[in-house]
Structure 1
Amino acid sequence: MSPVPRLGVAGCGTYGTMILKCFAAEQRRGRVTLAAVADPDPDRRQCAATTFHLPAYADADAMIESGEIDVLAVATPDHLHAPILFNAFRHDLHVMCEKPLDIQSARAARLAEAFAEAGRVLYVDQHKRFDPAHIRLREDIARGVLGRPLYGSVHMEDRIEVPERWLRDWVAETSPSWFLGVNFYDLVTWLTTLEPERVWATGQKGALSARGLGDVWDSIQAMVSYRGGFQMHYDLSWVLPRSFPSIVNQGIRVVGDGGLAEVDSQQRGYFTASAGAPGAAEVNPFGALEYDHPLHGPVTEGYVFDAIRQFLDVLAAVDAGTPAADLAGRYPDGASSVTAIRLAEAVDRSLASGGIEPV
């Protein structure tokens, strides 16, 4: 790997652009070199190439095979991750991938094992683990502040523009469980260190199909039983009205036999309304904040960007001589992401069977 890693980004949509912004800020600090972008959509590709002054490829494989990059960030639609990741592995690249790592747990496990055996980094951007409130919740659970965890609930709900506009080209390939639920499926395992064992899921359809999006789930509810008797209920949807003041409404509640804790991830204390806006907005400045640093120019702060930035910390440790195997479990690696994928698969099976399914 080059002294300063040369990074390529596959996918220039919403999250690909956030990745580019974050690494552009780190490039100004000398930590990474943005080397190329790839996206099959010519408008997105050209916009990214122009904004970040980068060569652009229509195909991620062509970028990988160019020899111009040492590391890769993958922000393509979920069902397209695996072929790109396998090709990156064949070319000895370290990789950061947006969640979920893959849509098949067995294949995800093979990818994680292959990267680990080769001493390569396979980092999954599970940014919920980086929210300071979630870190505090994890510490409280570990210290026994809540006693033995008994039950809890999660809600994660997007405005309808997410499936209708952001994901319109591939909404049939995903669901509220995969696109939203995987965030919290991973988080709950990370918070509690408990493995999911059984799931019963139900859901509703109709609103999105009426808008021409096909046979797509509007909302999904899943009751998950974890080892030790812990129960977690997940409410997942993406049909909130456009008038809702933020793009996502989300939170988590955990109750133990010695206490309880709640994290409201949506109302973080910043409310705005202006004459030129279509409605009021509630903004989470702790998640993603961009501003001009007096020395470094545009910088990115907040736990969403922290999760991306930590990939560079892991690469620096490996480059300094720490074997990748010694870092296993200390960051959101491929192996740690497989449980969330297994749970999402079990939710799908339960929706199809109407019964309780093993995870």
Structure 2
Amino acid sequence: MSKLRMGVIGAGLWGNNHAHTFNVLPETELVGVCDLDEGRALKMKESFGAELAFTDYEKLINNAAIDAVSVATPDFTHTPIVLAALKADKHVLSEKPLATTVKEAEEIAEAAAKSKGKLMVDFHNRVNPILAQVRDMIQNGEIGLARHGSARLSNTTYVPFEMLSWAKKSSALWFLGSHLVDVLRFILADEVERVYSVARSGTLAKGGVDTKDFHSSILEFSKGTVVTMENSWILSKDNPSLVDFKIEFVGEKGQVQADPTHNGGLRRIVDGGLRYNDYIGITPTGETRIGGFVLESIARFIDSVVRGTPLLADAEDGLANTKILAAIEESVATGKAVTVG
């Protein structure tokens, strides 16, 4: 069987995860890579043995040698790339969030419905083994109806100040909240009906990144569950991990608590103090397999295109996600609770 010929748009950290996955899976061949920075595109081409390198995503998309593309560019840049790929009937894997406005997300969902290509959003925490178990517990009724919960997905200041060159064009809400909102929808198998949120600025702006420091939100789900949600970019860099991720649900018959931040069993003490290493996100495997949920989710896209298995998350999931985040932004702006959609 001929291999699915892949193109990767975006040569940053996550684009490299995509390129690596397509290089390892026996069903795929990495043909082309693209980045606005020609040097980065050429470096990725050389690192992963791709045949082609581009600085114009339209040239990659319209190249007849490429069957499917993955979009691993900054949050706010996805829409024109995804739309161009769907118009060309390419299969598309997009990093989250699908879009940063409801109008754009709706446009993408409409284009996906018309395209011969499949569209998947890379909400990789759906295959995080810890969170998948939480979903099973909730859906199996182990704690009864989840009455209320709390969810925190935040970063240290390293992320907006050092890791992301484009942080001022995004926020912890869009960068992290998009993951967390999807995880909550996934675990509860339910939709958010109403949100209320507050946000503050100042700490990041003083450091030259003019975006919100944090969002604190309340999400009301249709079955009655109420979740408080935190997304912050101002945690201390002295934390042992740049991510702080916690979820708890209180139900009619019990509670479930999850801390996917780290796994505790692997620790190192270096300059700067205690640090945790992740050992389930990416794990070692053989030459033709991918291990860890971060890369597994990318492989699920290939499963869907090649084998017809269900998409991990589709355009409608991406649209629902954007609607909730946009409602949170509206609540911050108006100071009022906002009904989603």
Superposed pair shares fold, TM > 0.5: yes
Name the counterpart of 1:106: 103
SS of 2:214 mapped into structure 1: strand
Within the alignment, does 1:307 sit opposite 2:315 as a pair?
no
How high is the TM-score relative to the length of structure 2? 0.94
Tell me how far apart the structure 1 counterparts of residues 142 and 251 of structure 2 sit (CA, whole Å).
9
Residue identity matched to 1:13: G
Q: Would the alpha carbon gap of residues 148 and 349 (structure 1) be closer, same or farther in structure 2, given more than 3 Å must change?
A: same
For residues 229-283 of structure 1, the C-alpha deviation after alignment (integer angstroms, 9 at most, x for no partner) is 21011111112222221121101111111111111011312333255x5543212
Tell me how far apart the structure 2 counterparts of residues 271 and 144 of structure 1 sit (CA, whole Å).
33
Q: Would the alpha carbon gap of residues 263 and 274 (structure 1) be closer, same or farther in structure 2, given more than 3 Å must change?
A: closer
The answer to whether the Cα contact below 8 Å between 2:144 and 2:254 also exists between their aligned partners in 1 is yes
Residue identity matched to 1:188: L
1:39-78 to structure 2, matched below 5 A, reads 39-54=35-50, 55-78=52-75
Within the alignment, does 1:219 sit opposite 2:214 as a pair?
yes
Within the alignment, does 1:342 sit opposite 2:323 as a pair?
yes
1:112-191 to structure 2, matched below 5 A, reads 112-168=109-165, 170-191=166-187
Tell me how far apart the structure 2 counterparts of residues 120 and 10 of structure 1 sit (CA, whole Å).
17
For residues 317-351 of structure 1, the C-alpha deviation after alignment (integer angstroms, 9 at most, x for no partner) is 24xxx8xxxx4xx5211112221111100111011
The answer to whether the Cα contact below 8 Å between 2:154 and 2:243 also exists between their aligned partners in 1 is yes
Tell me how far apart the structure 2 counterparts of residues 358 and 120 of structure 1 sit (CA, whole Å).
33
Within the alignment, does 1:241 sit opposite 2:268 as a pair?
no
Name the counterpart of 1:12: 11
The answer to whether the Cα contact below 8 Å between 2:3 and 2:27 also exists between their aligned partners in 1 is yes
Tell me how far apart the structure 2 counterparts of residues 42 and 163 of structure 1 sit (CA, whole Å).
24
Task: Give, in angstroms, the shift of residue 43 of structure 1.
Answer: 3.5
Structure 2: stretches of 5+ with no match in the other structure: none
Name the counterpart of 1:89: 86
Task: Give, in angstroms, the shift of residue 109 of structure 1.
Answer: 2.9
How high is the TM-score relative to the length of structure 1? 0.89
Percent of aligned positions that are identical: 28
Structure 1: stretches of 5+ with no match in the other structure: none
For residues 274-311 of structure 1, the C-alpha deviation after alignment (integer angstroms, 9 at most, x for no partner) is 55x5543212211122x363xx28x6411111111111
Root-mean-square deviation over aligned CA pairs: 1.8
The answer to whether the Cα contact below 8 Å between 1:5 and 1:70 also exists between their aligned partners in 2 is yes
Within the alignment, does 1:232 sit opposite 2:227 as a pair?
yes
User: Number of paired residues?
Assistant: 339
Residue identity matched to 2:22: F
Tell me how far apart the structure 2 counterparts of residues 288 and 251 of structure 1 sit (CA, whole Å).
20
Within the alignment, does 1:252 sit opposite 2:250 as a pair?
no
Tell me how far apart the structure 1 counterparts of residues 15 and 264 of structure 2 sit (CA, whole Å).
27
Tell me how far apart the structure 2 counterparts of residues 356 and 84 of structure 1 sit (CA, whole Å).
33
Residue identity matched to 2:276: E
Task: Give, in angstroms, the shift of residue 57 of structure 1.
Answer: 0.7
Tell me how far apart the structure 2 counterparts of residues 202 and 220 of structure 1 sit (CA, whole Å).
6
Runs of 4+ in 1 over 4 A off after TM superposition: none
